[in-house]
Chains A and B, each alone.
Chain A
């Protein structure tokens, strides 16, 4: 990755070992100034370790971290131009809101009147004017969130790190805070680095997302790329929902291939460098599968079959149908379109499903 002048944060070959365990292995990335960058991965993948190394609580075993082009290796956390919003926010319970926000300024030796002015200003910007004298325990979850961000932003850091700050909130509030966080990031025009295991959070808010697994970055890209053009089987399985089959390539014609799944389902797909006999994994997103009540409209598709509805999973706009292929017995997860045609669909009904070659994502089976 080349050094580029517009990047606020850059990590090069970042590696961290804990004894024999490799938590982070040769991670490279750079974050453009003023962008929202997320690191998405399952728990234990090493994303918190990366964050703690950037904040300065851990030193990397090898590799370099540069902030605005300057290496921060060996710089203690209190001297780094980054601030962190902790998972449980870590507001100081012994101080009121204004004292919490003013803490960093007091440490910098800013004059009292200036602290009061800047604290008031940042409270305006997070839309909570006049709550300075309140205790932290008197605030709602969403307010605390904003105060925690304000406490960092008042110091005007180059990079703001956020460690799953929405994890402790309930679902409704979390949805609201996602939008609000994105708005705050635009308001402060600061680089945000956000780590989460929740793909919804990462995809909605980020300009770029890094998907992390077992200490490595699997893919870095825009949310749309990760979803439609995953580069690895892990990304395909982790980002978004997918029907997943293991199988063996039976026939190849150029980039076109036919794969027989372990359950006996024949799937027509496409991919580079496939040879007959290769073991592969196939991912088909539920929403990529078209569902029809009769065979006529579905006829043009390379993958199509007559199936029986085995279960209806109603969840408003995210409703699903589980269908069973009578030949192979395979269960397929299909998104239910919100049209009147399917409103009376019942268990046991016969339907036709189909999907295109390009919608069946094919990867070499990594588990072998």
Chain B
């Protein structure tokens, strides 16, 4: 074997090991675990019982759908908030302020997600900053609890995801020549029409790539729903956790995991088809 080929395989080795050991192997094992059922202690038989349980048990299915729908909602809200921010950073801010704004988006990510989420708890809890402020203003006559509901959870998820939307959006918007926007106005375009016909079509790869990342992160998030969500805001990852850790029912947990993987794949595929983008293009242009 020539040294050139050896070099090629050595370079490829980390990737193959990473994919093989951390992604493919565990998934194969999970797939096997999910497709069996315990008939007696330490005795298993192949069956589809776990998937049947997922489909027939309303709580599981409901939580699953709720998680998917809310993740889509988080993605949409993040996009709506991040787009003007990215546009400002990429097109309006100049020089130092541009760098400073970008850094401000990045700074919260220097601390762990746990600490960031705890920041929201400090703000939103009954004895927290906002509650106190409202009482001080006289707008509330008793402590207000703003935690442990869907709104608080969404807030946390949007906050956590923001950077992953801002980065690809800013990158694609920066690549849009200012003269193209000016040409849009020069030829008779108005603000909304330039946005619709020129800016958004150009930013589409960034929008889709940001949306995919944010959606995946929200769908697979465990910490934020646990800390900020209430007893009614059950997240699908919490179900998986409880099956694995609380119930020791690895078979059902593995089946749930696969359902989640399947759902996210379908939704991402559908988004790409719907927007006419390819995975190659969005990932190439995004962050």
> A94 — nearest CB in chain B belongs to which residue?
B201
Name the B residues within 8 Å of A83 (CB-CB): 186-187
Q: Give the docked Cα–Cα distance between A340 and B229 (Å).
A: 95
Are A90 and B185 interface neighbours, CB within 8 A? no
Show 16 residue pairs from A and B whose CB-CB distance is below 8 angstroms, ordered by the A residue: A55-B182, A77-B186, A78-B185, A79-B188, A83-B186, A84-B183, A86-B182, A86-B183, A90-B180, A90-B183, A92-B183, A92-B197, A94-B198, A103-B184, A107-B188, A152-B187
Are B187 and A86 interface neighbours, CB within 8 A? no
Query: Which listed residue, B188, B193, B202, touches A155 by the CB 8 Å rule?
Result: B188
Name the B residues within 8 Å of A342 (CB-CB): none
CB distance from A138 to the nearest CB of B (A): 18
Query: Which listed residue, B177, B189, B190, touches A90 by the CB 8 Å rule?
Result: B177
Name the B residues within 8 Å of A228 (CB-CB): none
> B177 — nearest CB in chain A belongs to which residue?
A90
Q: Give the docked Cα–Cα distance between A74 and B6 (Å).
A: 69
Name the A residues within 8 Å of B201 (CB-CB): 94
Is A243 an interface position by the 8 A CB rule? no
Name the B residues within 8 Å of A19 (CB-CB): none
Give the most central of A55, A56, A86, A95: most B CB within 10 Å. A86
Are B183 and A87 interface neighbours, CB within 8 A? no
Name the A residues within 8 Å of B188 (CB-CB): 78-79, 104, 107-108, 155
CB distance from A90 to the nearest CB of B (A): 4
Interface residues on A, range: 20 to 34
Query: Which listed residue, B177, B183, B189, B202, touches A94 by the CB 8 Å rule?
Result: B202
Q: Which 6 interchain pairs have the tightest Cβ spacing?
A: A107-B188, A104-B187, A90-B179, A90-B183, A94-B201, A86-B179
**For residues 165 through 205 of chain B, which have their beta carbon under 8 Å from a beta carbon of chain A?**
177, 179-180, 182-190, 193, 197-198, 201-202
Q: Give the docked Cα–Cα distance between A155 and B198 (Å).
A: 19
Name the B residues within 8 Å of A57 (CB-CB): 182, 185
Is A88 an interface position by the 8 A CB rule? yes
**For residues 59 through 101 of chain A, which have their beta carbon under 8 Å from a beta carbon of chain B?**
76-79, 83-84, 86-88, 90-95
Are B183 and A155 interface neighbours, CB within 8 A? no
CB distance from B95 to the nearest CB of A (A): 15
CB distance from A214 to the nearest CB of B (A): 25
Is A151 an interface position by the 8 A CB rule? yes
Query: Given A93-B202, A94-B198, A94-B201, are A103 and B179 neighbors across the interface (CB < 8 Å)?
Result: no
Identify 7 new A-B residue pairs, CB closer than 8 A, beyond the known A93-B180, A94-B201: A77-B186, A78-B186, A78-B189, A78-B190, A90-B182, A92-B183, A103-B197
Query: Which listed residue, A84, A92, A104, touches B180 by the CB 8 Å rule?
Result: A92
Question: Which residues from chain A sit less than 8 Å from chain B, CB to CB?
Answer: 55-57, 76-79, 83-84, 86-88, 90-95, 103-104, 107-108, 151-152, 155
Name the A residues within 8 Å of B177 (CB-CB): 88, 90
Query: Which listed residue, A77, A92, A94, touches B185 by the CB 8 Å rule?
Result: A77
Are A103 and B182 interface neighbours, CB within 8 A? no
Q: Give the docked Cα–Cα distance between A182 and B283 (Å).
A: 45
Name the A residues within 8 Å of B187 (CB-CB): 78, 83, 103-104, 107, 151-152, 155
> A161 — nearest CB in chain B belongs to which residue?
B186
Name the A residues within 8 Å of B185 (CB-CB): 57, 76-78
Give per-residue flags for B71-108: 1 if the beta carbon is below 8 A from chain A beta carbons, else 0.
00000000000000000000000000000000000000
> A86 — nearest CB in chain B belongs to which residue?
B179
CB distance from A206 to the nearest CB of B (A): 23
CB distance from A339 to the nearest CB of B (A): 49
Name the A residues within 8 Å of B198 (CB-CB): 92, 94
Q: Give the docked Cα–Cα distance between A91 and B186 (Å).
A: 12
Q: Give the docked Cα–Cα distance between A34 and B202 (Å).
A: 36
CB distance from A348 to the nearest CB of B (A): 53
Are B189 and A84 interface neighbours, CB within 8 A? no
Are B193 and A84 interface neighbours, CB within 8 A? no
CB distance from B252 to the nearest CB of A (A): 47
CB distance from B277 to the nearest CB of A (A): 12
CB distance from B40 to the nearest CB of A (A): 63
Q: Give the docked Cα–Cα distance between A76 and B189 (Å).
A: 11
Are A87 and B186 interface neighbours, CB within 8 A? no
Query: Given A151-B187, A152-B187, are A88 and B197 neighbors across the interface (CB < 8 Å)?
Result: no
Q: Give the docked Cα–Cα distance between A76 and B188 (Å).
A: 9
CB distance from B10 to the nearest CB of A (A): 38
CB distance from A96 to the nearest CB of B (A): 12
Name the B residues within 8 Å of A88 (CB-CB): 177, 179
Q: Give the docked Cα–Cα distance between A253 and B186 (Å).
A: 58
Q: Give the docked Cα–Cα distance between A83 and B182 (Å).
A: 11
CB distance from B127 to the nearest CB of A (A): 51
Give the most central of B183, B185, B197: most A CB within 10 Å. B183
CB distance from A255 to the nearest CB of B (A): 50
CB distance from B68 to the nearest CB of A (A): 31
Are B182 and A77 interface neighbours, CB within 8 A? yes
Name the B residues within 8 Å of A77 (CB-CB): 182, 185-186
Q: Give the docked Cα–Cα distance between A39 and B270 (Å).
A: 54
Give per-residue flags for B201-229: 1 if the beta carbon is below 8 A from chain A beta carbons, else 0.
11000000000000000000000000000
CB distance from B186 to the nearest CB of A (A): 5
Are A107 and B189 interface neighbours, CB within 8 A? yes
CB distance from B11 to the nearest CB of A (A): 33
Name the B residues within 8 Å of A76 (CB-CB): 185
Name the B residues within 8 Å of A87 (CB-CB): 179
CB distance from A204 to the nearest CB of B (A): 25
Give the most central of B188, B189, B198, B201: most A CB within 10 Å. B188
Q: Give the docked Cα–Cα distance between A103 and B193 (Å).
A: 10
CB distance from B92 to the nearest CB of A (A): 14
Q: Give the docked Cα–Cα distance between A87 and B177 (Å).
A: 11
Name the B residues within 8 Å of A91 (CB-CB): 180, 183
> A104 — nearest CB in chain B belongs to which residue?
B187
